[in-house]
Structure 1
């Protein structure tokens, strides 16, 4: 039987590395895999072990954590690169990326055929939450499998929820979370752009609405960056192009219209189409500026 303290971790990016760090600090043996040598060097610095290969990382792992970009990348790791073949029987695969629910369900079926179990476990909280170990983790999996991985997940997030017994249910909850975030963010951009167009002092406007019933977490967090000429990038425009697209697909799967999500999606698409997909997502406000001739 494999050591339950052995964890394979694929994806040591801006969120993945601090998540792996929290696991190491909690006493887990973490073998990491990333295509970037600097990420592997950073893993060594925090006490993790760089795997010689993906199969080396998975060979004795009780849990494989996938902090990858999307479901396609997860499938590449699991199937094409051989992670499923290398993992011991009964191992759990924690898919922590934001993915369409139907793709998660299909992937779970394929993982089960190999004698392993997929745990649908997308996260929310960004880099700040990853570093602090305060991520929100939304799990879709049979109860026994949720219980099996819960201690590991609680090391990376302090808000852990069992969203249902089926893989894909965590993904649905994450899609709804991103729907609200995207709509709130687009609404904040629309409001502040209106203030600019009307000629009011936008710093004063932001202070007023941030402290009133009109406020939202996204307004308070992104609003100041909307007023910067060159804001730092904490989450890119293209992330919401992807995530709102997933929310719309989730709506289609249950024959539900999501007009506000669709409108927000169009604004992020417009900003991405203007060549600014890698800018901070607060710059969705620029799409409103162009639409309304605001210089």
Structure 2
């Protein structure tokens, strides 16, 4: 049996680790917040003191961190090479990368790991914290068959859908950034619609009820505008996530000289929310950029 480790016990990673444990796997974990790893281990599992220990202990290492730079730290450390997990992973081990990144960066990472004798799966994820905790996320993956042969039981434990999109890295990340294009635009549009309703004096609960049962609904409207109605901007996915992700979308399109007018506008909306002080709030806080509206305060 292969052994599995996971780095990054944030909103998504914690739920994914729980799903692995629930499936009967012994899960090694590392997080920069030592208390998060220790809390997980108390319920079953192994808290690793550092990334080197995680890499040495596991045949499959799953990285669930915020962006490419943090993924580099997981693999290669922030200074000396041996601070990360890559230098300590056994030849033939698999690194599963779950962050939203530039597809070209993912392609280059595969080559770097292959040169070290390691296998790689480009595997960005979608679904949110609740689905991560229940093992129901979607994984958009690409990698060589040998990597899947080792990692597949763990992927299936974490996800309701594991899409295999190609034998080389990059294909998973390409699909993920298109998903993020839609997600970001839908959140921005949902916020704009709710803001107009508030400005015009429409009862927000009634508006939410009607829209979620009408053709104008989207998953993002239904999910994120519930946060607005509750007045709860606890960050399940923060404003700055879409500053980053839509930035990647636009960078990729710019390299191809491909116009993305809606994505550009949505990116500017999230940028405005971020610079206005809402960077770490839930991404539904993009509604706070609209002037002259009184937002619901939820239950006291």
1:106 aligned onto 2:108: yes
After TM superposition, the structure 1 = structure 2 runs for residues 118-267 of structure 1, keeping only pairs within 5 Å, are 118-267=120-269
Secondary structure (helix, strand or coil) at the match of 1:164 reads coil
Across the aligned residues of Structure 1 and Structure 2, the Cα RMSD in angstroms comes to: 1.6
- Name the residue aligned to 1:59: 56
CA contact (8 A) 1:21 1:48 kept: no
CA contact (8 A) 1:139 1:146 kept: no
The runs of 5 or more residues in structure 1 that have no matched partner are none
CA contact (8 A) 1:244 1:261 kept: yes
1:18 aligned onto 2:50: no
2: distance between equivalents of 1:196 and 1:82? 49
CA contact (8 A) 1:175 1:250 kept: no
Q: CA deviation at 1:37?
A: 2.2
2: distance between equivalents of 1:230 and 1:58? 38
Secondary structure (helix, strand or coil) at the match of 1:227 reads helix
Q: CA deviation at 1:199?
A: 2.5
Secondary structure (helix, strand or coil) at the match of 1:256 reads coil
Secondary structure (helix, strand or coil) at the match of 1:119 reads strand
Equivalent pairs, count? 289
1: distance between equivalents of 2:211 and 2:11? 31
TM-score, structure 1 normalization = 0.92
Mean Cα deviation higher: 114-123 or 31-40: 31-40
1: distance between equivalents of 2:228 and 2:22? 36
Q: Deviations over 1:149-171 (max 9, x none)?
A: 22210100111101122211111
- Name the residue aligned to 2:280: 278
CA contact (8 A) 2:11 2:236 kept: no
Q: CA deviation at 1:116?
A: 0.3
Mean Cα deviation higher: 185-194 or 251-260: 251-260
- Name the residue aligned to 1:29: 26
Q: CA deviation at 1:250?
A: 2.5
Secondary structure (helix, strand or coil) at the match of 1:31 reads strand
Q: Deviations over 1:131-156 (max 9, x none)?
A: 10001001011234234322210100
The runs of 5 or more residues in structure 2 that have no matched partner are 78-82, 295-300
CA contact (8 A) 1:77 1:83 kept: yes
Secondary structure (helix, strand or coil) at the match of 2:165 reads strand
Q: CA deviation at 1:231?
A: 3.8
1:42 aligned onto 2:39: yes
1: distance between equivalents of 2:89 and 2:11? 26
1:294 aligned onto 2:293: yes
CA contact (8 A) 1:12 1:34 kept: yes
TM-score, structure 2 normalization = 0.91
Q: CA deviation at 1:230?
A: 4.3
Mean Cα deviation higher: 219-228 or 102-111: 219-228
2: distance between equivalents of 1:39 and 1:25? 18
CA contact (8 A) 2:15 2:130 kept: no
Q: CA deviation at 1:202?
A: 2.6
